[in-house]
Amino acid sequence: MGETEILAVDDPGTGLEVTRHRVPDYPIDLGPVTHLAEERTRLHGLSWEHFDARMLGSTVGAELSGIDLSRALPEPAIRDVQLALDSYKVVFFRDQDMTAEQHLGFARRFGELEVHPFFPSNEMQPELVKFTKGVDTGGYENQWHHDVTWRKRPSRSTILRAVQVPDLGGDTLFADMCAAYDGLSPDLRSEVNGLTAIHDFQRSLGRQVPPERMEEARALYPEVAHPVVCTHERTGRRHLYVNRLFVDRISGRTRAESIDILDRLCRQADYPEYQCRFQWEPGSVAFWDNRAVQHYANSDYWPDVRIMERASIVGDRPSA
């Protein structure tokens, strides 16, 4: 074997500024995500009275243990769960032996519940959306998105319970859209502040409506404009609020004129540094902030069965 001359004496990062760098010829960045450090340190220093928390991502996601959601929790425990949700943006619970009624009872402690017009529900509880996937119904939620952004008052938060999960696959990923906004380049941040986007149910859910009822559905759920960058109603943090599933265009522009900037913004969810990943087990529950995170349901389990039920809390209209 011939000899190889080692030309380098330092790590490849030596001499580079400790910041993000654009990959030549591609619209993606690499390098240390330094703006996460302060928030990561703060989150890792939190402690809670009514449960223990274990972080899953750098600034997003925590498993909460030592709490039973099937019980009628005291108000201080509910406040603690809400504060944990504000902090971690998505929280997870294991080994919860809950009925559909207990699921709804827990969700109602956080606000008015939503009824989804385009998804089937649990037969006895219209506030519970039921997702049943199997050999004849694959999962199509494997795009980054916030839920129901086509509503004037989109969901504030969501509680998803595993009814039946495959032995392998079907994880859900969550991306911190506050960190994504903070990580925008100054030029891109300046470009998007003040923009609004047009959201429309018909882009992804139009096929759920019979043609003869489309005019009725359009009257009930017209196109709606939301800020591209919103201010979170509870934490005051700025976050991105666009997604490929429901955003049609930027206000005042055609769809063709909007695609470039929408793509650049939607790509921010792709960075693993902003993400956490949750592996479902029987009895697992996820509770996420539908403004501060986007989510992505991994569709890698076909033809196995995956059944989930979701209760969503109605939010206020997003504001800049």
13 within domain boundaries: no
* 21 falls within a domain: no
Element (H, E) at 55: strand 52-55
CA 197/CA 165 separation, integer angstroms: 35
Flag residues of the chain having pLDDT under 50: none
> pLDDT digit string (tens) for 164-202?
999 999 999 999 999 999 999 999 999 999 999 999 988
Task: State residue 9's pLDDT score.
Answer: 77
CATH, residue 167: 3.60.130.10
Rounded to whole angstroms, the Cα distance separating 146 from 290 reads: 6
Q: Name the DSSP class of 39.
A: H
Tally of domains within the chain = 1
DSSP 265: H
| Main-chain dihedrals φ then ψ at residue 36, nearest 5 degrees | -80, -20
Residue 216 φ then ψ, to 5°: -65, -45
CB atoms within 10 A of CB 215: 10
- Structure token digits, residue 216: 């009725």
Q: What is the pLDDT of residue 49?
A: 97
Would you say residue 265 lies in a domain? yes
**Separation of alpha carbons 40 and 64, rounded Å:** 17
| CA nearest neighbour of 312 among 117, 133, 140 | 117
Nearest 5°: CA angle at 74, between 70 and 76? 125
Angle at alpha carbon of residue 30, lines to 245 and 265, rounded to 5° = 25
- Domain of 204, in residue numbers: 31-314
| Residue 294: how many other CB atoms lie within 10 Å | 29
Q: Which tokens in the block code for residue 32? A: 């240390």
Within a domain: 8: no
Flag whether 9 is in a domain.
no
- Which backbone phi and psi does 24 adopt, to 5 degrees? -55, 130
Buried b (16+ CB within 10 A) or exposed e, 225-260: ebbbbbebeeeebbbbbbbbbbbbbbeeeeeeebee
E strand segments, 96-255: 121-122, 125-133, 155-164, 172-176, 196-199, 224-227, 229-231, 238-240, 247-250
Q: CA nearest 283: which of 71, 127, 70?
A: 70
Instruction: Say if CB 320 and CB 195 are below 8 A apart.
Output: no
- Residues that are catalytic: 145, 147, 295, 310
**Phi, psi angle pair for 155, to nearest 5°:** -55, 135
Alpha-carbon distances, residue 261 vs 130, 244, 253 (angstroms): 34, 12, 11
What CA–CA distance (Å, rounded) separates 45 from 32?
A: 22
Instruction: Please report whether residue 115 resides in a domain.
Output: yes
What's the CA gap between 205 and 202, in Å, rounded? 5
22 found inside a domain: no
pTM for the full model? 0.94
Give the span between the Cα atoms of 68 and 111, in whole angstroms. Answer: 19
Assigned domain for 181 exists: yes
* Per-residue confidence (pLDDT) for residue 2, from 0 to 100: 64
